[in-house]
């Protein structure tokens, strides 16, 4: 069993914060590298990034998604490769926040009224980091993924899945090589919190890239099963119950031992539709409103286990409700099938 302390690392792949299925970088994209994190200073995988468009921003979440061009030759050329850069302000670290107010911090007064005053405070460099996620080279699918779009609620019957959704997914040839890199210890091996190496009923537990591991309020880990060929909730049968029980019980225990967070303070669930089609389970702090934890996408693992115990064909036959982007081809295919 691996129990290696996780270290900060960049993962060259898409974030999983949206309600749509994500495409990981394809095998035909050049320059797709693997590797583990380092505390040494590094550089972005490109130079000359020119902002083309703000794909999305959120004042509440303190994050912005930028589409830019990277010149292939002459920096003055108007063309170039597409890249996406996501900038996100990191949460406060409780044990370091007092440093912001020690000594003589740089302050600019905004207003003062009786006992109330508001300032702009400029923290020191070590307390002012910005999490930066890069997708390069980016495809049109990546750009559409991060572009803010309207969502639609759709119901998918078991027949819809077999006749519409599954053939559509198989036609996309989505690459999940980055998942296999983790399972094969080719990337992020130093970030594995726990591993059950059983090839059928085992998994690895790894911090999600959205969690900086500096505080527990937004704790977020992912359990990725070793067994290949289980795409999503729809594939689950009683045959997979030992795997699911291992993920639930061993995952909770590993988090308790590593982070001193009890199982009743964790939300443990699967997404449907998932962001990538290799079975994985989300572990988040109960008080954290993680992206995709709403009722239209999240399915609690304990209830998934109980459903399979009661009905072996539950997820083969059940009608599932989820959201899709308004311009997602799958939405049109499902709506057309349901009209006929």
273 is in an annotated binding site: yes
8 is in an annotated binding site: no
150 is in an annotated binding site: no
232 is in an annotated binding site: no
226 is in an annotated binding site: no
What is the token pair recorded at 221?
């880990």
280 is catalytic: yes
188 is in an annotated binding site: yes
Q: Is residue 316 packed enough to be buried (19+ CB in 10 Å), middle (13-18) or exposed (0-12)? A: middle
What is the token pair recorded at 104?
């003589």
- Check if the beta carbon of residue 175 is closer than 8 Å to that of residue 22: no
Task: Decide: helix, strand or coil at residue 267.
Answer: strand
CA–CA distance, 127 with 90 (Å, rounded to integer): 9
- Which residues face 156 on adjacent strands? 320
Q: What are phi and psi of 105, to 5 degrees?
A: -65, 150
Peptide bond between residue 180 and the one before it cis (omega within 30 degrees of 0) = no
From 67, 226, 240, 280, the catalytic residue: 280
58 is in an annotated binding site: no
CA–CA distance, 188 with 186 (Å, rounded to integer): 7
CA–CA distance, 213 with 7 (Å, rounded to integer): 8
CA–CA distance, 311 with 96 (Å, rounded to integer): 50
208 is in an annotated binding site: yes
Would you give the end-to-end CA distance of the chain in angstroms? Answer: 52
119 is in an annotated binding site: no
271 is in an annotated binding site: yes
314 is in an annotated binding site: no
CA–CA distance, 321 with 164 (Å, rounded to integer): 15
275 is in an annotated binding site: yes
- Check if the beta carbon of residue 284 is closer than 8 Å to that of residue 266: yes
DSSP run (H or E) holding 253: helix 241-259
178 is in an annotated binding site: yes
281 is in an annotated binding site: yes
Residue 99: partners with Cβ closer than 8 Å, 6 or more residues away: 124, 127
Q: Which residues are annotated as a binding site for substrate?
A: 178, 188, 208, 210, 271-282
Catalytic residues: 280
Q: Which residues are annotated as a binding site?
A: 178, 188, 208, 210, 271-282
């Amino acid at each position: 069993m691996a129990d290696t302390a996780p270290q900060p690392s960049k993962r060259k792949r898409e974030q999983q914060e949206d309600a749509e299925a994500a495409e990981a970088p394809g095998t035909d994209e050049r320059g797709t590298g693997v590797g583990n994190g380092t505390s040494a200073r590094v550089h972005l995988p490109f130079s000359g990034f020119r902002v083309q468009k703000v794909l999305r921003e959120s004042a509440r979440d303190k994050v912005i998604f930028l589409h830019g061009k990277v010149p292939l030759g002459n920096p003055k050329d108007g063309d170039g490769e597409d890249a996406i850069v996501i900038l996100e302000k990191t949460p406060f670290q409780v044990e370091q926040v007092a440093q912001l107010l020690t000594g003589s911090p740089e302050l600019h007064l905004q207003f003062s009224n009786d006992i109330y005053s508001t300032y702009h405070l400029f923290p020191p460099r070590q307390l002012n980091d910005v999490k930066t996620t890069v997708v390069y080279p980016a495809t049109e699918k990546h750009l559409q993924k991060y572009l803010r779009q309207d969502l639609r609620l759709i119901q998918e019957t078991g027949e819809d899945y077999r006749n519409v959704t599954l053939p559509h997914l198989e036609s996309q040839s989505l690459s999940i090589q980055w998942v296999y890199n983790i399972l094969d210890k080719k990337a992020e091996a130093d970030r594995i919190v726990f591993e059950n190496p059983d090839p059928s009923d085992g998994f690895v537990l790894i911090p999600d890239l959205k969690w900086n591991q500096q505080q527990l309020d937004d704790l977020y880990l992912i359990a990725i099963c070793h067994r290949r060929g289980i795409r999503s909730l729809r594939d689950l049968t009683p045959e997979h119950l030992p795997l699911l029980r291992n993920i639930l019980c061993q995952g909770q225990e590993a988090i308790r031992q590593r982070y001193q967070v009890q199982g009743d303070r964790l939300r443990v669930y699967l997404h449907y539709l998932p962001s990538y089609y290799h079975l994985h389970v989300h572990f988040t702090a109960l008080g954290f409103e993680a992206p995709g934890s709403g009722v239209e996408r999240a399915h609690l693992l304990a209830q998934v286990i109980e459903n399979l115990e009661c009905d072996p064909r539950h997820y083969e036959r059940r009608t599932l409700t989820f959201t899709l982007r308004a311009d997602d081809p799958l939405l049109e295919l499902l709506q057309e099938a349901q009209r006929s």
